Amino acid sequence: MTEPTADVDELVARATAWRDQDPDPETRAEVDALLAGTAAGDPDAIADLTDRFASRLAFGTAGLRGRIEAGPNRMNRVLVSQAAAGLAAYLLGRAEGATPSVVIGYDGRKNSEVFARDTAELVAGAGARAVLLPRLLPTPVLAFAVRHLGASAGVMVTASHNPPLDNGYKVYLGDDDHGSQIVPPADGAIAAEIDRVAATMRVHELPRAAFETADESVVEAYVAETAALLAGPPAAQPKVAYTAMHGVGWETFAAVMDAAGFERPATVAEQLHPDAAFPTVSFPNPEEPGAMDLVFARAAETGAELVIANDPDADRLAIGIPDPEAEGGYRRLAGNEVGLLLGWRGAELSARSRRPGEGTLACSIVSSPALEAVADAYGLEFRATLTGFKWISRAPNLVFGFEEALGYLVNPGTVRDKDGISAALAFLELAASLQAEGRTVADRLDEFAAKFGAAASSQISIRVTDLSRIGALMTRLRDEPPAELGGIRVERIEDLADGSDELPPSDVLRIVLADGSRVMVRPSGTEPKLKVYIDALATDGDVAERRAAANAAVAAIDAAMRELLV
């Protein structure tokens, strides 16, 4: 986000102008309270006013995402209206005489439907065709609808797995972008139109018009095409426990399971239906400690052989399996573990359905590089992309793509984004096939280590209150690179700031060690964090020896990086 300075009088003027165009009484009242506190000299009110009005929530390749409050540095109806009008202007400007179209979806978070309807009315008012999905639905259904309806663009109102008081605005492009999320230069061009609207027009001046509402056939088509991932009836019926984590995944996932021939799972009733307050979790992200406690308890009650969790907008998937050594008897698989098993599945399917070497396995540069070993074994191309499915989905001839943050793209012919529903079905099919052969997911992980090597990973997140600290740490690593980490010699450090033949420029450092281990360091794109990703692959010895070696390397490097970044 931009961080211009402004004195209090200027901030008061900005806030007053903002309030006077805000159609939402709740956020107008927030501004009135801030202005009253500022007039009284309350330092907390002044600080809050500054935080909200001295800068603007930047529109980028992740769209918009932030806390639902008043001000240009928050998510609210004014900001969303400006974004909708800016997006419409961008689409109309490149339409070359044709009428562009936008399909809009929304999840169950606070204000999601309000933001979606504002968007539809403003897109229609600008002269484009606006189509609102029939009800709150998962993000993958919106991503599917962009291609299915032949839309020029799509907007999904969601903050995915962010905290309860956040919301967001995710933009997809159709036509030559095939329903993928925006990337440069489109993001910059859209942002420029949004800034122009914000600078020259008030929200009440923006024209609004009636929009279309899609019928259920869009959802039915998504369900049918997702269920078609399975070539035939399930080989077995694993006992499954499922949670939607207070999100929108259940109804669509249940319909997909029905269509594919799987029996309904045991569910966590308290988390099954949308609830914007997320009352049973402190953070609605399956990666967070404790977030899957209720579904693990339900799995234990029912003797489940597989645990499936979607995040609130169902674009991510978490998998749990029985583990007698884990507290409660179940453990969540790491995103890399799920990604590697699904990647192996994709490679096997590709080998049966394509000519050798035709197809690509892709993952983000911070995900397990062991996927390359799978690609090599099956004669497929491998592509490591920048973080985010806006990049992964654009890999040529994509067969499968994933990122370690629980995102998986198993069906690029249907959805060009991570999809926690189709990925859940693919993993369920894998578990069913294993069960029919008398094997388990844990056995499959052992088989992976035996065939490709044992992969181990860890992650360090350094949260900061002063964003300048992130830049200082990156500068220090560039200026004073380590010669060794955890007793392992650093072979080279690759600075991706200038880009490469395969990657656009990005503020990322890749540290390659002499034993083949790898460290990636980058600022988070959505949170005030510096993130470090550590990966190792061991191929010598039996499975137990390989695992011990990979885990030891990761542990040593992890400890060294933590000490280095203090």
Give the domain ranges of the chain: 1-55, 60-214, 216-451, 453-564
Q: Compute the Cα dihedral for 559, 563, 565, 566 and give only its sign.
A: positive
In the prediction, which pLDDT does 3 show? Answer: 44
Task: Write the CB contacts of 270 (distance below 8 Å, at least 6 apart in sequence).
Answer: 279, 280, 294
509 within 8 A of 474, measured Cβ to Cβ = yes
In the prediction, which pLDDT does 4 show? Answer: 44
Can you give the pTM of this predicted structure? 0.95
In the prediction, which pLDDT does 60 show? Answer: 81
* 216-451 matches 453-564 in fold: no
CA atoms in the 13 A half-sphere facing the CB of 65:
18
Query: What CATH number labels 453-564?
Result: 3.30.310.50
In the prediction, which pLDDT does 416 show? Answer: 95
Contacts 24+ apart (CB under 8 A), 71-74: 71/15, 71/18, 71/31, 72/14, 72/18, 72/198, 73/1
CA–CA dist 215, 434 (Å, integer) = 38
Tens-digit pLDDT profile for residues 189-240: 999 999 999 999 999 999 999 999 999 999 999 999 999 999 899 999 999 9
In the prediction, which pLDDT does 1 show? Answer: 41
All residue ranges of the chain with pLDDT < 70 are 1-6, 354-357, 526
CA–CA dist 539, 40 (Å, integer) = 68
φ, ψ of residue 136 in degrees (nearest 5): -65, 135
In the prediction, which pLDDT does 353 show? Answer: 79
Catalytic choice (81, 152, 160, 422)? 160
Q: In one letter, which amino acid is 480?
A: E
CA–CA dist 488, 550 (Å, integer) = 13
Which CATH superfamily, name and number, covers 216-451? Alpha-D-Glucose-1,6-Bisphosphate, subunit A, domain 3 (3.40.120.10)
Angle, in degrees to the nearest 10, between helices 335-353 and 420-436: 70
CA–CA dist 329, 299 (Å, integer) = 9
Active site residue 160: yes
Which tokens go with 152? Answer: 């020029």
Fold of 60-214: Alpha-D-Glucose-1,6-Bisphosphate; Chain A, domain 3 (3.40.120)
Report the SS3 class of residue 66.
Answer: strand
